[in-house]
Amino acid sequence: MPIKLPSSLPAYKTLEGENIFVIDETRAIHQDIRPLKIAILNLMPTKITTETQLCRLLSNSSLQVDLTLLQTETHEATHTSAEHMKTFYQSFSDVKNDKYDGLVITGAPVEEIPFEKVDYWHELSDIMEWSKNHVYSTLHICWASQAALYYHYGINKYPLEKKLSGIYSHRVLDPSNPLVRGFDESFFAPHSRHTCVKKEDILACPELSLLTESDKAGVHIVASKDGRMIFVTGHSEYDYNTLDGEYRRDLARGLNPSLPENYYPDNNPQKKPPNVWRAHAHLLFTNWLNYFVYQQTPYDLNEIK
């Protein structure tokens, strides 16, 4: 699935250099197909890094993706230039009358703040409510998964004794679900968070299915039974060095962080960590796009209910 990006977006050159199939707008308009309209609400402070990570995963299939990058209006980005945000991002008010095949809502470093105290909570609530009848399937990542489970189903988050950071083994609980089609019975995924949701709360909700879990990291992938909402508590999109960057950032801040678990060879932060989750990350996003977006979304997006 080639992903259509502006040729001036930093992710374009990065992905092209990795032999990822990207096309610019000029070539895209000459392809006689309807592209999948996918929006990304990017709540991460490292906007460009997160854009690139998600574009990499959204591009690994067989149809064209037309991407819209969204930002909050009630919280101004401070780690990314205003010029970049103005050039490549839109706000909710710009798109609230549009409809999309899919929406991705990223994590955010606000887990330890009560949901209602997050400065853009009301705007995010409006977006999550809007997604129910303007988006066919929404994929929520890390904190966004907790926020959406709370907003849509009243499921609370709980603080962890210490930050969960590392690469953890997971198992598939429902291999019949198309979202985990092709997954190994045991697979790895990164986590980086201070809070969790409880398995018993998920199982008590008849509208939800728990698809994968980890002995150490707990609940991992949850899906609504109609496939319209997907919740992933980890960070499958992370690059091999993302946890390393977070660890060194926290060291520089004097936070005395623990080493990310199961990450550095021999627990030596001077050694390059291997990426042992890349294949399943691609498979997760490809399955979502194929089985929950492309196969299900009406050709005319106005028919989304």
Distance from C-alpha of 272 to C-alpha of 279, rounded to nearest angstrom:
19
Count Cβ neighbours within 10 Å for each residue of 128-147 and write b for 16 or more, e otherwise: bebbeebbbbbbbbbbbbbb
Give yes or no: 134 in active site.
no
Residue 55: active-site member: no
Q: Which of 51, 111, 123, 237 is catalytic?
A: 237
With contact defined as beta carbons under 8 Å apart, do 106 and 43 qualify? yes
For 159, left (φ over 0), alpha (ψ -120 to 50), or beta? Answer: beta
Residues 6+ apart with CB under 8 A from 198: 158, 218, 219
Q: Which of 170, 235, 246, 280 is catalytic?
A: 235
Angle, helices 121-134/143-153, rounded to nearest 10 degrees: 70
Determine which one of 142, 152, 170, 220 is catalytic.
142
196 counts as catalytic = no
CA neighbor of 42 nearest in space, from 106, 128, 112 = 106
Catalytic residue IDs = 142, 235, 237
